[in-house]
Homo-oligomer: A and B are copies of this chain.
Amino acid sequence: MIITLKNDAPQRLIQQLVDEFKSQGFEIHDSVGKNYHIIGLIGDTTNVDERQIKANLIVENVTRIASPYKKSNRFFHPEDSIIDVNGIKIGGKEKIVVIGGPCSVEGLDHICSIAQQVKDAGAVMLRGGAYKPRTSPYAFQGLETEGILDMVEARNRTGLPIVSELMDSDQIDEFEKYVDVIQIGARNMQNFTLLKAVGKRTTKPILLKRGLANTIEEWIMSAEYIMANGNEKVILCERGIRTFEKYTRNTLDLSVIPIIKEKTHLPIIIDPSHATGNWKYIESMSLAAVAAGADGLIIEVHDRPECAWSDGAQCLKPAKFAELIKKARAIAQVVGRDI
List residues of chain A with CB under 8 Å of any chain B CB.
2, 4, 27, 29, 31-36, 38, 40, 42, 46-47, 49, 51-52, 54-57, 60-61, 63, 65-66, 68, 133-140, 167-170, 187-188, 190-196, 211-213, 215-218, 221, 224-225, 228-229, 241-248, 251-255, 257-259, 262-263, 275-277, 280-281, 283-285, 287-293, 305-306, 308-313, 315, 327, 330-331, 334-335
Beta-carbon contact of B276 and A139 below 8 Å: no
Greatest chain B CB density within 10 A among A38, A52, A169, A221 is at A52
Greatest chain B CB density within 10 A among A133, A170, A330, A334 is at A334
Q: Which residues of B contact A35 (CB under 8 A)?
A: 42, 66
A308 to B247, CA, bound (A): 29
A167 to B327, CA, bound (A): 42
Q: Which residues of B contact A276 (CB under 8 A)?
A: 255
- CB-defined A-B contacts under 8 Å, sample of 27: A2-B2, A2-B38, A29-B31, A36-B40, A36-B42, A38-B40, A46-B136, A55-B306, A55-B312, A55-B315, A56-B312, A188-B191, A211-B213, A212-B213, A213-B213, A217-B247, A241-B251, A247-B263, A248-B259, A252-B254, A254-B285, A255-B275, A255-B276, A257-B288, A262-B280, A284-B293, A291-B331
